[in-house]
Amino acid sequence: MSKVLNFNAGPAALPRSVLEQAQAELVDFNGTGMSVMELSHRSGAYDEVHVQAKEQLKSIMNIPDTHDVLFLQGGASHQFAMLPMNFLHSNKVGYYVLSGSWSEKALSEAEKIGDTKVVASSKEDTYSHIPKELALDSLPNAAYLHLTSNNTIFGTQWGNFPDVNVPLVADMSSDILSKEIDVSKFDCIYAGAQKNLGPSGVTVVIIRKDWIKEANKAIPKILQYETHAKANSLYNTPPTFSIYILSLVLNWVEAQGGIGAVQRMNEQKANLLYDCIDSSEGFYKGHASKESRSNMNVTFTLPNKELTEKFLKEAKELGMSGLNGHRSVGGCRASIYNAVPLEACEQLVEFMKIFKGKN
């Protein structure tokens, strides 16, 4: 068994027990004599997986009956386009909060579809914080307000979400299922699965049923939320294996004690790392300002490029993988999603202290 500690930003660590169960069931799923990958997506055996994943997500995240859960494909990036195609019509305006590269990408897709407006941005501060000055009282003719709940690349995360009287949409790709949230506040939440939910290939969309009715009907059927909602995400062949792994991850979350327990563990993990950064007398510097720090992606720099390279090299030799920062910002980043165990963070902190002492 390899002893790699996986700090990858995405695709990211999955719980070991999930992988082991998938391995044990790989060639014979539930007595069917077939792999879950080989089952018809219309079969009873697969349907159980599909329905259970959906119901379990609803129960774990406390998703109200006003909202539907869809399993789509194309990742969060596909949602960047699908959302405005559905809702940015009739001369309405898509409002965007820019808090990082993913928000920028979401905005640039919407710009191709209709009118957009940036309501707040922290770009000038290299996205080191969630924008503070939010002028959200008046959003005339709004189709929706879009935000990115956790900025995977810069390591910032929203604390309290804004109260607005227009449809609120969040890209939660990198912090869904990591903490308790009030789903009823949002008209749409979407997330590619490969950070906290499972493997890549499935995109979870949680969307208010009444809002779907307001969507543009003049776009291709496959791009309409309504199509997938009506067909229980079985309009076309869904990514069955990814949904199966998602269902195993949801079992794992329940076994941890649910989302509250996972949240407390995540806070503990993040605090360990931030305490280490803050008590390093400036040797390690966090990229994010304190009030915007992410519990999922801890970004930091070392005094210079040579030390950064040395740090990453030595970490790798100790089996710590994925600690290099995103190519656009450099430095280091420890992604500590749900499935990254506390011990991995403890070992990283120990290494950081020793490395600082020696250098």
Ligand X SMILES: *Cc1c(COP(=O)(O)O)cnc(C)c1O
> What are the residues whose beta carbons fall under 8 Å from the beta carbon of 189, sequence distance 6 or more?
169, 170, 172, 176, 183, 204, 205, 206, 207
The sign one gets for the Cα dihedral 218, 223, 229, 231 is: positive
Q: Which residue is nearest to ligand X (CB)?
A: 75
Give yes or no: 102 in active site: yes
Q: Is 189 exposed, middle or buried (CB count within 10 Å of its CB: 0-12, 13-18, 19+)?
A: buried
Q: Is 148 assigned to a binding site? A: no
Strand spans (E) along the chain? 5-6, 67-72, 93-98, 115-121, 142-148, 150-151, 156-157, 168-171, 188-192, 203-208, 285-286, 297-301, 320-321, 332-335
Q: Is 152 assigned to a binding site? A: yes
Give yes or no: 195 in active site: yes
Task: CB nearer to ligand X: give 206 or 302.
Answer: 206
Asked if residues 187 and 166 have their Cβ atoms less than 8 Å apart, the reply is no
The single residue among 121, 157, 174, 335 that binds ligand X, judged by CB under 6 A, is 174
Tokens of 186: 């949002």
Stretch near ligand X under the rule CB under 6 A, chosen from 12-20, 75-83, 211-219, 331-339: 75-83
Query: 3-state DSSP call for residue 170?
Result: strand
Q: Is 42 assigned to a binding site? A: yes
In a 13 Å sphere around the CA of 125, the CA atoms on its Cβ side amount to 16
- Does residue 148 interact with ligand X by CB under 6 A? yes
Cα 338 to Cα 195, 251, 344, distances in angstroms: 9, 13, 12
Q: Is 171 assigned to a binding site? A: yes
* Minimum distance of ligand X from residue 161's CB (angstroms): 15
The single residue among 7, 71, 96, 102 that binds ligand X, judged by CB under 6 A, is 102
The sign one gets for the Cα dihedral 131, 136, 137, 138 is: positive
Q: Is 66 assigned to a binding site? A: no
The single residue among 152, 178, 247, 308 that binds ligand X, judged by CB under 6 A, is 152
Task: CB nearer to ligand X: give 192 or 286.
Answer: 192
The single residue among 171, 205, 269, 283 that binds ligand X, judged by CB under 6 A, is 171
Give yes or no: 158 in active site: no
- Calpha distance 280→132 (Å, rounded): 28
The single residue among 15, 192, 199, 322 that binds ligand X, judged by CB under 6 A, is 192
- Does residue 99 interact with ligand X by CB under 6 A? no
The single residue among 173, 292, 308, 335 that binds ligand X, judged by CB under 6 A, is 173
What is the β-pairing status of strands 67-72 and 203-208?
antiparallel
Stretch near ligand X under the rule CB under 6 A, chosen from 22-30, 56-64, 171-179, 328-336: 171-179
Stretch near ligand X under the rule CB under 6 A, chosen from 24-32, 88-96, 167-175, 176-184: 167-175
Q: Is 102 assigned to a binding site? A: yes
The single residue among 5, 10, 85, 345 that binds ligand X, judged by CB under 6 A, is 10
Binding site for pyridoxal 5'-phosphate: which residues?
Answer: 76-77, 102, 152, 171, 194, 236-237
Give the residue numbers marked as catalytic.
102, 171, 195
Question: Which parts of this chain interact with ligand X (CB under 6 A)?
Answer: 10, 75-77, 102, 148, 152, 171, 173-174, 192, 195
